[in-house]
Amino acid sequence: MVSLKWCCKQKDGIKLIEPSDNLSLSYMQMADNALGTMNRERKYNLTFAISAGYYSMYYSLYSVLMKLGVKCEIHSCTLEFMKVLLSEFYTKEDFKIISKAFDLRNIAQYYVDKVIDTKESDMIMSKAPLFVNTSKDVLSKINESDVKKIRDSLKGLSG
């Protein structure tokens, strides 16, 4: 079980960086590209489709982190950051969906002998575009005061 405090202490964990609209836009473009890959691969390669579905959500979330000036290379820590510090912007349901996609992607990529439940993979693929749209919505709503509040919360944890 990861915690934000633990994540802030890890070498590749949560770090404050300079906020960047350019990086934010680049990650959102990657999210849109991943959705295209997911849709193309659905019928041909379920492992790639699941992976692309997860990454579409992850990149869109990471786009929000870039806007805030937060860097993290540990996926479980990025998800924990979302759950704790972005709860004003993402619902518990959003968190459940990206967490489920994270788990499915791990199973699909690293446990080739395990069978993926098609109901679960279909759910991820139907929810991925909605999650990406939520992230786009978050980016349009987030303001300077939100950025400062979130960054200050993080400073309190890592300090």
Q: 120, 104 in Cβ contact below 8 A?
A: yes
What fold is seen in the domain 14-147?
Answer: Four Helix Bundle (Hemerythrin (Met), subunit A) (1.20.120)
66/155: higher pLDDT: 66
**Where do the structural domains in the chain lie, given as residue ranges?**
14-147
Half-sphere exposure of 60 (CA within 13 A, CB side): 27
Q: Are strands 70-71 and 15-16 parallel, antiparallel or unpaired?
A: antiparallel
DSSP code string of 69-95: TEE---HHHHHHHHHHHSTTTS-HHHH
Q: Per-residue pLDDT for 114 more than 90?
A: no
Query: What tens digit of pLDDT does each residue of 121-140 get?
Result: 899 999 999 999 999 999 99
The C-alpha torsion from 48 through 102 and 127 to 145, rounded to 10°, is -130
Is 50 a residue whose pLDDT tops 90? yes
In whole angstroms, what is the distance from residue 55 CA to residue 94 CA?
14
Q: Please, are residues 41 and 10 in contact by the beta-carbon 8 Å criterion?
A: no
16 pairs with which residues across the strands? Answer: 70
User: Tens of pLDDT along 66-101?
Assistant: 999 999 999 999 999 999 999 999 999 999 999 999
15 DSSP assignment: E
Q: What is the pTM of this model?
A: 0.95
Instruction: Label residue 158 by pLDDT band (50, 70, 90).
Output: low
